[in-house]
Each structure stands twice: as structure tokens, then as C-alpha cells.
Amino acid sequence: MSGLRIVSAGFAPTLQDFGRPHVQHLGVPPAGALDPVALRIANALVGNPPDSAAIELRVMGPTLEIAAEATRVALVGTGAPVEIVGDRKVEAPSHQSIRLTRGRRLRIGSLADTGVAYLAVEGGFALDPVYDSLSTYTRARIGGLDGRALRDGDLLPLRVDEAGERAERRCADRSWAREAGPARVMLGPQDDYFTADSIAAFFDTEYRITREADRMGMRLDGPALTHARGHDIVSDGIATGAIQVPGNGRPIVLLADHQTTGGYPKLGTVISADVPRLGRLRPGDALRFARVEVEEAEAARRALEERIARVVDRFVPAEPWLDEDALYRRNLVSGLAEPD
């Protein structure tokens, strides 16, 4: 079977695509990529549809072995290089496509500059979807590979056994990954459960991401919000980016693996255009918020879609990277070039 063999998994990598938000009414959390922008760019580099599943990496990347004739990959979302493991140390840049042949190993180290990155593979993975998605939701053990994080020794089956040779592509515009400024929030649906002073303080104060952060959500460290009408409501639906506030007043921003309903009041929701930025944050990072209305939120989403299209349209030919092991193995014998 053609595939990617997991030699060393790193920190709990999972397969993620755009998730399954269309079945939340059945009680199934959406899951999906924490940073769908990076996922889309990674897929574009290897020629996949934008919603194809890729390996989502957090904290520490894996070591993988190519168990196919040739595989094309692209690492997007981090400045960390792809190290090609062999007799010599070869580093290929991130944010470009790379073609590797059978038996080659690639290693991705610490993601010190981001909270999440993606490794896309040309053709994607030959796995059965759950509710039309390969996204892994580990709490219910659905999606991905047996509904769990990847681990040492796994073989991820590939749909393409031999990626053809072509000019590789590079994402030259990385401004999308450096977006700054407050995360924009639409108030509601339970903003009336908080005092006016605490709402004002929420938008005037810098918060920090605590270590209580995972794919489900991240708790913020900063001024506690004051409940005006208690901290329990009749459970209602939750959207990705919702800011839920339990009894201790510490806000929690809910991310891809959020529950489908909740019984704590929600101050507001981070707009969809800014949710990908949340996925890039790490514990200790600072975060501010700004209030917007629905018209601004819709305009921001349209602008994001246009920006992604421009980034992909401006891909450039990748600068050659030297795979010295392959060069010596194929072209040199005792220091002399093989004749044609």
C-alpha cells in the first residue's frame, strides 16, 4: 500500500480538512482545521482542492518516510524547514512544494513561531470520510485514522502512488500569516448577561492565552467579566469563535472542536475572517478584541476570500533546493558524472 509512514509522530498530529459543520444539529462537533487559510494554501501548492485533508501539526512536527514511488508535499504555516534525513543534512524551505521519492524521510522540528501548521500531500489520503469529512475528532474517535492522533508506526494510505515531475511552486506572499490588530467580535447572543462596565473592559484590555488551550478552545487571562444575570442559561447552539464565560468570569474562545451546545452565556463571537488567526496563537501570546457589526463582518470575510485568491494567484516558481543524497546516488560514481 502506498503511503506515508509515521516514524516519529511528534506532538499528536491529526488529519484535518474543513470539518463537518453541516451536522452540528446531530450533536457532532465540527472539528476541522484550526487555520483553514494555511490549509488552503498548502493544498494549492500541491494541486489539491482547497478542502482536502492535510496533517495538522502543533508544537512539534513528525518524522515521516515516503512509502510510495514519489510524493509531493508542502509545509505551510511555519518558517521551520523540512529536513530531508539522509547521510547529509538537507533542508528544504517551507511554503513550497517538494517532490520526494520512495524511502526518503522528512523531519519537521519545533513549531516555535506558530500555534499550527499543515503538511499537505498531493492527491490526499485514501481514507473513508465520516459525514463527508476526514477531520479527526478524537473525543468521539471519528475521522482521520481510526479517529485518533497519529502515532509512531502508522501508515497513512495515499491516493496517488507516484506524483509526477513538474516545476515546484512557492508561496511568495506570506503577509496573511502576519496579520495583527484586534480580533473582531460581534456581540451576542447573551451580551445582556454581563455588566456594561465589564463589556467595556473586555474591549479595552489586553488578554493572554493561558496554557489551558487546545483544539476545543482557549481560556484567556485578563480581567474577569461580571455576570449581571447569573452564569447559567438554557443550553443553546455554539459557533466556532464563540466567547463563552463560565461562573469564574474568565472568557473561553471556542475553536474547531467546540461542543455543539453550551449552558454558559456567550458575550460574542469572533468573526469568521479572524478565526484562522486564533489558531496560530500560542500560550502566552497577547490578544485584544474590537467590536464590529454584521456588515463589517461580512465585508471582512469577502476581503479574506479575495486575499487568499490573490496569494494563490501569485505563486512563483520555487527556487531549487539541493538534495545532495539523490544527486550523489543518481549522477556520480567515484566523483565522476555518469555519461548520458
Fold of 177-306: Cyclophilin (2.40.100)
The predicted pLDDT at position 180 comes to 86
What is the per-residue pLDDT for 337? 44
Mean pLDDT of the region 28-34 = 98
Q: Residue 324's pLDDT is what?
A: 55
**Residue whose C-alpha cell is 503577509:** 175
User: What is the pTM for the complete model shown?
Assistant: 0.93
pLDDT of residue 113: 95
Collapsing DSSP to helix, strand or coil, 55 comes out as strand
pLDDT category at 331 given cuts 50, 70, 90 is: low
Q: Distance (Å, rounded) from C-alpha 237 to C-alpha 231?
A: 16
pLDDT at site 88 = 79
Q: Coil, strand, or helix at residue 197?
A: helix
pLDDT digits (tens, 9 = 90+) for 108-126: 999 999 999 999 999 999 9
State pLDDT tens for residues 283-329.
999 999 999 999 999 999 999 999 999 999 999 999 876 555 555 55
Ordered by start, the domain boundaries in the chain are 3-172+318-337, 177-306
Helix pair 36-46, 294-313: axis angle to 10 deg: 20
Summarised one tens digit per residue, pLDDT across range 118-176 is: 999 999 999 999 999 999 999 999 999 999 999 999 999 999 999 999 999 999 999 99
Q: What is the DSSP string of 283-337?
A: TT-EE-EEE--HHHHHHHHHHHHHHHHHHHHT-EEPPP---HHHHHHHHEETTEE
